[in-house]
Chain A
Amino acid sequence: MTRLLACLAVTIAVTAVTTAQAPPQRFGFGEPAPREVIAALDIDVRPDGTGLPPGSGMAREGGELYARQCAACHGPKGEGGQAERLVGAEPRGLAPFGPEYERWRDGRPDVPFTIGNYWPYAATLFDYIRRAMPANAPGTLTADETYGLVAWLLAQNGIIADTAVMNADTLPKVTMPAHKRFVPDDRRGGRNGEL
């Protein structure tokens, strides 16, 4: 009898499958991130200027730095070289695409996409240059140097005056010519879905 019961117990133990436990509210994996760690990595700059550091720069200083660190790839005046063109906003106020542009073009060579005609936010310039430029030594520019380069690029594109000072206060207030052109994608596919 005992043997029979034991045998039965074994059978139950083998066949019974319990439901998996529900996941916990939290697993408790990972470590709290110290403020210094966040500050060291949190380098993004948003269109409203959030994230811009102290410091300032003007086109004159930026132009000198540009000649030393950027011109070899982007051309002496930002006209492009082995890296893309940065300067150019002709025809004034027109994007390099769309019906108005096509009417204006009328057989002329195409206008390249540049900071002057296809960047919707000025603060993005600071964010991108500081994180990724110059391509051979990214992350080496100081805040003042970056503000200076941004000022030079905006001035070359005819968006700000040569004498304008760029800093955390003034840069987000610069309105880019392409600002109003950008609209979020809302397509959903489907048989007659928009292309």
Chain B
Amino acid sequence: MRKTQKSSRRQPRDGGLTRRVLLTRAVGAAAITLSARGALAQDPSSTTSRPGPPPSALGTRAPAEQLKRTPTATSSRTPLQDLHGTMTPADLHYERHHGGVPAVDPRTYRLLVHGMVDRPLTFTLEDLKKFPATSRICFLECSGNLGRQGGERTTAQELCGLTSQSEWTGVRLATLFNEVGAASRATWFLAEGQDAAVMTRSIPLEPVMDEAMIAYAQNGEALRPEQGYPARLLLPGWEGNASVKWLRRLELADQPFMTREETSKYTDPLADGTARQFSFIMDARSVITSPSYPHTVQQGWVEIRGIAWSGRGRIRRVDISTDAGRTWTEAALQAPVLPKAHTRFRLLWRWDGRSTEILSRAIDETGYVQPEWSALQAARGRRTRYHQNPVTGWKIGTDGRVLFGIERVSA
């Protein structure tokens, strides 16, 4: 049989059969097979009738799988509805920039660490790579990650595509701070980027020292320019803007610097008239990515799929409602469930063809339950702007069409 296949590939493109091929085939193959292969050879979509392209220097996506971020002037969103598992391909990682993407030369790149230290030092990219390395998988999420401008025609990407997940590799911040001799009085540090906004955030030392790193690699390769090449701060579980990209300077101090990005921006006006500041940690959240708008489902078995995550640790449970919140069923979580990481959940559901609404609700290891929009509004008032993580879901019509389904979310 194998011999027959091989010989059939020698067949001329015009479909004519050489005497040699005919002879070879006559040995083992039935005449009926022969005529079938002749027909296949004439089909231009046949992949067996001629060799494909040879190996290449860089891989590409299949032509039918053209995934895209949705860029605006300041951000672009990950196509959550098109992804499987939990890792985001690096070229689809969401972006949020405050002054565009700078072109940093890795040969002249320097990271300055100074302030309340014994020895202010500058590190080249090669210096950073010489230190003991560490890797971890975690999500990043912009604290402004809720969009529903499309109303019912909001996709999962538009709804919460400002979150992505990667494996990050770099040097622990604790290693660098030890190298410069950080003073024990130093309780905060300023992280500053070298983009056109010279982006700055003040970070408290104690809560981040175990997990913070200066990352220079993402998913096995150097950082993408959009993700802070050649090096960025990485604070697992914290709002994305605090993981300052294109990092050029760390200054240790004994109090926060009160930059614009932690005072008039990235703070949370509350219902009681106070404004919550330094709300770094991303609370637990989940989103059903399939089915979602603009999918159509058929009556019968449907696997409900999505991702859940928490900046406070592991996801403990994800509940799914297929009856608009009246009853809830525990979804299966894909192992391994990592702390501060996107966790894939799935629930097999038999749709009976009646219109309904499907919702997801995440619970993290602290016991925190992803809130309803109404509870968030009651706690924070109408004018809250960041850290909105309400339970959301999708309406399914009798025709199987899926639409974004939480009127409660519209402000």
Contacts and interface: CB of A to CB of B under 8 A. Distances in A.
* A-B pairs with lowest CB-CB distance, top 10: A98-B273, A189-B366, A191-B367, A195-B379, A97-B269, A30-B121, A185-B279, A128-B260, A33-B120, A131-B198
A43 B248 CA distance: 12
A44 to B, nearest CB: 6
16 contacts: A31-B121, A38-B120, A46-B258, A96-B269, A98-B269, A98-B381, A124-B264, A127-B200, A138-B198, A182-B277, A185-B280, A188-B312, A189-B281, A190-B368, A191-B367, A195-B380
Contacts of A37: 112, 122
Interface string A80-112: 000000000000000111111110000000100
Contact of B198 (A100, A132, A181, A189): A132
A122 B2 CA distance: 80
Contacts of B192: 41, 44
A53 interface: no
Nearest to B123: A30
A44 B383 contact: no
Interface stretch (A57-65, A66-74, A113-121, A151-159): A113-121
A25 B301 CA distance: 60
B131 A124 contact: no
A171 B319 CA distance: 53
B263 A182 contact: yes
A193 interface: yes
Interface in B316-358: none
B248 A121 contact: no
Interface string B249-282: 1010001011110011001111111111111110
B198 A182 contact: no
A76 interface: no
A108 to B, nearest CB: 13
Contact of B251 (A44, A96, A110, A128): A44
Contacts of A188: 312, 366
B114 interface: yes
A20 to B, nearest CB: 10
A183 B196 CA distance: 29
B180 to A, nearest CB: 8
Interface of B: 98-99, 112-114, 119-124, 127, 130-132, 178-180, 190, 192, 196-198, 200, 248-249, 251, 255, 257-260, 263-264, 267-281, 283-284, 310, 312, 364, 366-369, 371, 375-376, 379-383
Contacts of B272: 98-99
A128 B190 CA distance: 14
Contact of A97 (B196, B260, B270): B270
Interface string A168-195: 0000000000100111110111110111
A121 to B, nearest CB: 5
Contacts of A30: 121-124, 127, 179-180
A46 B113 CA distance: 18
A37 B251 CA distance: 13
A23 interface: yes
Contacts of B121: 30-33
A55 interface: no
Contacts of B251: 42, 44
Contacts of B312: 188-189
A151 to B, nearest CB: 18
Nearest to A194: B379
Nearest to A96: B383
B367 to A, nearest CB: 4
Given A127-B259, A184-B277, 14 more contacts: A26-B179, A29-B123, A29-B131, A30-B123, A30-B127, A30-B179, A31-B121, A32-B121, A95-B273, A98-B381, A110-B383, A127-B200, A189-B284, A195-B376
A98 B381 CA distance: 7
Given A26-B178, A181-B274, A41 B112 contact: yes
Contact of A124 (B132, B260, B278, B369): B260
A41 B273 contact: no
A11 B179 CA distance: 40
Contacts of B99: 132, 135, 138
Contacts of A46: 255, 257-258
Contact of B371 (A32, A120, A121, A195): A195
B196 A38 contact: no
A185 B178 contact: no
Most chain A beta-carbon neighbours within 10 Å: one of B124, B249, B269, B375: B269
Contacts of A181: 273-275
Nearest to B119: A32
Contact of B276 (A115, A123, A185, A189): A185
B123 A98 contact: no
Nearest to B111: A30
B264 A119 contact: yes
